[in-house]
Chain A
Amino acid sequence: MKIQIIKKGIADSLQNTGNYGNQHIGVQVGGFMDYFSAQLANKILGNPLDKELYEIHFPASHFRFEEDGYIAITGANFVPVLNEKSIPLHEIIHVKKGDLLQFLKPMLGRISYLAMSLNKPALTLTNRKLIEKIDELLFTPAPMRFIPGPAWNDLDTSSIQAILHEPFQTTLQSNRMGFQLEGPAIKTIVSKSYLSAGVTRGTMQLLPNGQIIILMADHQTIGGYPNLGQIILVDLPRLAQMVHHTPIHFSLCNLSMAHEQYQFIQAQFTS
């Protein structure tokens, strides 16, 4: 569906599930920050779940539709308006050639998704349930679950205690590459130097200033900061939606639980 950006937003981009396969030559993966909301927008419209769509940050672009079709908006609530009339999230919206889409105000969350289709889809009951489920997963406070990484055992006891029991918070130093947190100073037992090695989205790196950064979609392919652990995939969309100064608690998770949760939620998208 043809669409024109008539005023460019601060960080809007077209995204897909990420371009894997070239990390060994240093090419970042990218892709949806909040893959729940992105998949949901596509599912509402009956699109393939991995279809490319607009990822919108606030202040958002102003869009003009160049043909008739259908859209769905998910994720953050930036108060979307069509021709200056408010439109709901998570609904199939009919748009006409020339219609103007704008976003007025960041009310909840930090990333919104705009999916489009030329064909009229049907909103199903299963989608209704999924919408509620995803909304709950994204915006209900819960601990960030992680699996300890290669440098976890190099932490001193008080740092381990701090990560497991004390609050951290998101900061303004957050973007598509990573979210830098603020919290108790974390340190390793001995200051050894680590060799750079492959990292993934969700990797918790310990910065030289004792703070933690969590790598997000556009992270570099290898990293040399101590690798403390990885946030599990099903908790990353919730992190992606956190505006700055949102409190974060961490809790330990194991591999089988992480895989079970991921497959359970993915199954609801594909059903």
Chain B
Amino acid sequence: MLKINKNEPQSWHFKAMGDHSLFFYLDERMDENINTEVHHFSAFIRNKNISAFKDIIPSYHAVTIVYAIDQLYAYLDSSKKYLSLLHLAESFIEEYEIFKQQHTSFQYEPNNIEIPVCYHPTFGIDLAKIAAEKNKDVEEIIQIHCSKIYRVFCLGFMPGFAYMGEVDKSIQSPRHPKPRPFVDAGSVGIAGSQTGIYPSDSPGGWQIIGRTPLSVFDPIHLALLNPGDLVRFRAITKEEFDAIKNNPS
């Protein structure tokens, strides 16, 4: 159970973002505490089960709610609790603050997920270059990448692409100035302080250090990783990679 951190209060603000979304936000920083708060708040809204909310999108420091206008007004009428959309948004923040005062823990419980990654040079095509730049052995880069638990800040770019952080400063590496036209599905990359996995073949600019044999996204099972999940990478051999790839569980 992830505790709510009451010592570092973050106050939520909101804006009507256009005519069919609400934008709730905290300080604009890439920060694990801020992002934890995002997932708590996002779960709080999601648990209200309001069908007028078509999507609830958590990101680094914000939660965007996309709503259907007609359904929203029907909800406001039937709830008798909120006078308007903006009153609803304000009330959500107040209700959430009260909820936080009354509870020590919360509905949002991250999944802990281990992801096998093969760092073999045929997959980790940028690994040797990063090692040379950082004046480290390839083995050391792998060990550092596997030593941390990463948080899924949010998903985006393409279905199932999880932005995770934060990568240890000693192996951070910027995006390629020019994206590669083709990156294989399953490729594990680093971009600045973040790490991520390409769910499908696509163009991409991240520094590729390995590949997972797992399916990261498919239309039936959807995404392997969800917002707020905690992820650890485990180094595997090429043989293990092939074995998992040939016998997906």
Contacts and interface: CB of A to CB of B under 8 A. Distances in A.
Given A150-B15, A195-B60, A220 B157 contact: yes
B70 interface: yes
B223 interface: yes
B15 A195 contact: no
Given A150-B25, A197-B25, A25 B19 contact: no
A230 B156 contact: no
A262 B42 CA distance: 27
A26 B157 contact: yes
A65 to B, nearest CB: 30
Q: Which secondary structure dominates chain B's binding surface?
A: mixed
Nearest to A145: B19
B69 A259 contact: yes
B186 interface: no
B18 A198 contact: no
A116 to B, nearest CB: 26
A38 B244 CA distance: 46
Interface in A2-55: 20-29
Contact of B160 (A26, A194, A222, A259): A26
A54 B212 CA distance: 38
B200 to A, nearest CB: 11
Contacts of B28: 194-195
Interface residues of A, number: 39
B207 interface: no
A210 B62 CA distance: 25
Interface residues of B, number: 44
Q: Chain B CB within 10 Å — which of A200, A233, A266 has the most?
A: A200
Interface in A192-221: 194-200, 202-203, 220-221
A162 interface: no
Interface stretch (B3-11, B50-58, B138-146): B50-58
B64 interface: yes
Given A25-B222, A196-B59, A222 B156 contact: yes
Given A24-B58, A26-B158, A262 B19 contact: yes
A149 B17 contact: yes
A82 interface: no
Nearest to B28: A195
A221 B29 CA distance: 19
Contacts of B30: 195
Interface in B65-95: 66, 69-70, 73, 85-86
Contacts of B227: 24-25
Contact of A28 (B15, B56, B61, B159): B159
A229 interface: yes
Given A26-B155, A195-B28, A20 B55 contact: yes
A194 B60 CA distance: 11
9 contacts: A23-B57, A25-B227, A29-B55, A197-B60, A231-B18, A255-B86, A259-B73, A263-B69, A266-B69
List of 4 A-B pairs having minimum Cβ-Cβ separation, nearest first: A230-B18, A198-B64, A198-B57, A222-B156
Given A196-B60, A197-B23, A198-B59, 15 more contacts: A23-B55, A23-B57, A24-B226, A25-B159, A25-B222, A25-B227, A26-B157, A26-B161, A28-B159, A149-B18, A195-B61, A203-B17, A220-B158, A255-B19, A262-B19
